[in-house]
Amino acid sequence: MMELQHIRQKIFVIRGQRVMLDFELAVMYGVETRALKQAVRRNSARFPEDFMFILSENEADHLVSQIVIPSKSYLGGALPYAFTEQGVAMLSSVLRSEKAIQVNIAIMRAFVEFRRYAFTYGELAQKIVELETKFEREFADIHEVLKWLGEENQSRADEIVALQNTHLEPNDWQNRPRIGFRNDT
């Protein structure tokens, strides 16, 4: 039985859909890629565009640049087929071996696990947005107080600078600005 981790690594997002490529599926099913494609062509009515599509040249180039495919020569001159989850499920009806059934079950489990992670990620993203909104509201008050204190301190700092800029004679000790505690009682 194939490991789910191994299968998950073979699932890519192309055209906004999670798909598996024909040459990866062929290896898993233990058939040649051309045999898999031939079986799909013979049963083309079972593979509408939301089940399977052929990659464009640009998409194939992108996969090569992302090191998903070692080179375009690896494809043997033909563009790969991309199978959605439904397309992979349909392959089990076209490839009727015991191995195809077992591989198909493992792949379906990997897609389900992918959805579970995607759902968990969506929940996490929502929680982060909620926390950001909450902190914005709660910290808005703190920010306002800090801003007010900053303005208050700025006016005091301006007074000190003004006092420092008053020109005192070096020996005018009695008329210097006073700092510290005064007890007038």
Q: Is residue 185 part of a domain?
A: no
Beta-carbon neighbour count of residue 36 at 10 Å?
Answer: 22
Place of tokens 């494809």: 75
Amino acid identity, position 36: L
For residue 92, is it within any domain?
yes
Look at the chain and report how many structural domains it folds into.
1
Helix axes 85-94, 22-29, angle to 10 degrees: 40
Domain-embedded: residue 163: no
Listed in order, strand segments (DSSP E) in 46-154 are 52-54, 81-83
Query: Model confidence over 141-176: pLDDT tens digits?
Result: 776 766 766 666 666 666 666 666 665 566 666 777
Per-residue model confidence as pLDDT tens digits over 32-49: 888 889 999 999 898 999
Q: For position 59, which CATH number holds?
A: 3.10.260
pTM: 0.55
One-letter amino acid for residue 89 of the chain: A
Is 79 in contact with 122 (CB distance < 8 Å)?
no
The count of other CB atoms within 10 Å of the CB of residue 62 is 14
**The domain containing residue 97 runs over which residues?**
4-126
**Tell me: the pLDDT tens digits for 60-115?**
888 777 767 766 666 667 888 999 988 888 887 787 777 777 777 778 777 777 77
134 lies in a domain?
no
- Would you give the distance in Å from CA 164 to the centre of its chain? 56
119 falls within a domain? yes
